[in-house]
Structure 1
């Protein structure tokens, strides 16, 4: 049995809960009545190797910025399995980017432990960056250099063999603009170049912060396809976003971050089924007008009204009423993504 103290994301009242490793329980704050779900972390193997179960193991991570009164990251614990796409979701200011900056070594002075690719983060030196790729939310390029020159420059920083910059530019549909100065690039082109740069060293682990922001639908689809291909090739991917559509489409599991706390970790499909309505909604025509009826999933196949409607040749659409990740996030945290 595990005993753990958590804080209500709304009133900050502390709540003591008990459960077993991996168990998911419903929690109601006795002070303000806020309802939520907490999942106790799975037991983890701390003597992991690069070929082990987890690519990343974060335990009790806490961080506060100098002179700040509030913790930016508050006792966060999670693991990411090798070859998994893990989504870190939450509104702006929730602590997502701060957590990522700590994990990739940009912020020091944290409490807790982080093991990445088989080694404690504090034991990694600059050689860490031979194994990981980072795509920041806001692209930072050398504006007076061409796209190709930018990638060639960053490629020269690595000791190990890198991917041909021309191949990466073709991959993100910037091949024809390879010799164009980045200062003349659109926002979307800079975003794609930023993503391409994160792949230069063919990393074992990718950290992507809002990788499709500012992209048109075709370009966003292109980037998501590449992410899927990297997963198939064995890469582990840490995706930070407030875009629930991307998270639903890409992620094996997602974690909800609110006010520095990780309040939920679960598979998107399980979340949508758990919080959705066990109904199907049927749109059909009546005297030329669109009407809607809902039927419970229980014994749907033997529901005479449903069967009669199916056989009427008036049905336009049928949809199950599962929740979206946006719906789930609002229900669990009481917050909207902004």
Structure 2
């Protein structure tokens, strides 16, 4: 698979404290890559390095196969960003604000209406940005980031402050963009969001990756050695996977009383909590 971006042994410090410590990972073309970690782990710093808002002290960063220091402005126009310092012109109307960015990106204005309707902001398009709620502003910034159908999209907590219905619509929009060829780099504190959207996940703690893999691979790797059987009469019974327990299970299921049997899988949140606790 082709790499869209690579970080290799990247370090950076602030006020003498390491924010990233020899951080290494890669993101493949046309995948949704989840970058998860507790607050202060270095997620936003990583995005700022990958978008040239910061410069690493050491290590190597490649973007679209080029050293990041040599990536052209034309190449950077293929990127979309939603981060903690994404901004809007507060005195502009919502529509004029997004039109400004559409004109910079040479995007047809019909695309603005399409996206505003998609995220439920079309009826509010003439409101001043400064009058919008936090959730409305977040939706406007998402529209701003995806206007030009970027080749690589950085999203830092995109669904923060959004209600479940709007979050679902944003998820569908992101999946459609991904199917059309956009690689997505996602940070989120919503573990179920990462599970639903991501092809691969990396867990960041104290400035370096402590685990990575697809959601399915991680669940199998960290699964407990237990399973649950549901019977008609006896209800739900939890077993370990020992030979004795399996014999007991076979005995109980002789009379066609067994309804379901499944292993106990951890959630992505369970794995996140276990790993970050161990690394604390």
TM-score calculated relative to the size of structure 2: 0.88
The answer (yes or no) to whether the contact 1:162–1:202 under 8 Å persists in 2 is: no
Which stretch has the larger CA shift, 176-185 or 208-217?
176-185
Residue 56 of structure 1 pairs with residue 5 of structure 2:
yes
| Unaligned segments of structure 2, at least 5 residues | none
Match of 2:201 among 246, 249, 254: 254
The answer (yes or no) to whether the contact 2:44–2:83 under 8 Å persists in 1 is: no
Cα 1:295/1:217, change in 2 over 3 Å:
same
Q: How does 1:97-116 map to 2 (within 5 A)?
A: 97-116=44-63
CA distance in 2, matches of 1:109, 1:253: 25
For residue 268 of structure 1, report the CA deviation from its aligned partner: 1.1
CA distance in 2, matches of 1:88, 1:162: 32
Give the SS at the match of 2:202: strand
The structure in which a higher percent of residues are helix is 2
- Which residue of 2 is the match for residue 292 of structure 1? 236
Match of 1:325 among 247, 262, 268: 268
CA distance in 1, matches of 2:175, 2:34: 14
Which stretch has the larger CA shift, 327-336 or 74-83?
327-336
For residue 119 of structure 1, report the CA deviation from its aligned partner: 1.8
For residue 140 of structure 1, report the CA deviation from its aligned partner: 2.4
| Unaligned segments of structure 1, at least 5 residues | 1-51
For residue 308 of structure 1, report the CA deviation from its aligned partner: 4.8
CA distance in 1, matches of 2:122, 2:241: 51
Residue 74 of structure 1 pairs with residue 18 of structure 2:
no
For residue 125 of structure 1, report the CA deviation from its aligned partner: 3.9
- Which residue of 1 is the match for residue 183 of structure 2? 236
The answer (yes or no) to whether the contact 2:232–2:257 under 8 Å persists in 1 is: no
Structure number with higher relative contact order (C-alpha < 8 Å, ≥ 6 residues apart): 2
For residue 136 of structure 1, report the CA deviation from its aligned partner: 1.6
For residue 93 of structure 1, report the CA deviation from its aligned partner: 0.1
For residue 301 of structure 1, report the CA deviation from its aligned partner: 11
- Which residue of 2 is the match for residue 145 of structure 1? 92
Measured on the aligned residues, the alpha-carbon RMSD in Å equals 2.7
Q: How many residues align?
A: 277
Cα 1:251/1:94, change in 2 over 3 Å:
same
TM-score calculated relative to the size of structure 1: 0.74
- Which residue of 1 is the match for residue 250 of structure 2? 304
Task: Provide, for residues 269-317 of structure 1, a one-character-per-residue CA deviation record: whole Å limited to 9, x for no partner.
Answer: 111111112433245676xxx95311356897994345258627xx6x7
Cα 1:271/1:306, change in 2 over 3 Å:
farther
Residue 188 of structure 1 pairs with residue 132 of structure 2:
no
Match of 1:136 among 66, 83, 88: 83
Give the SS at the match of 2:115: helix
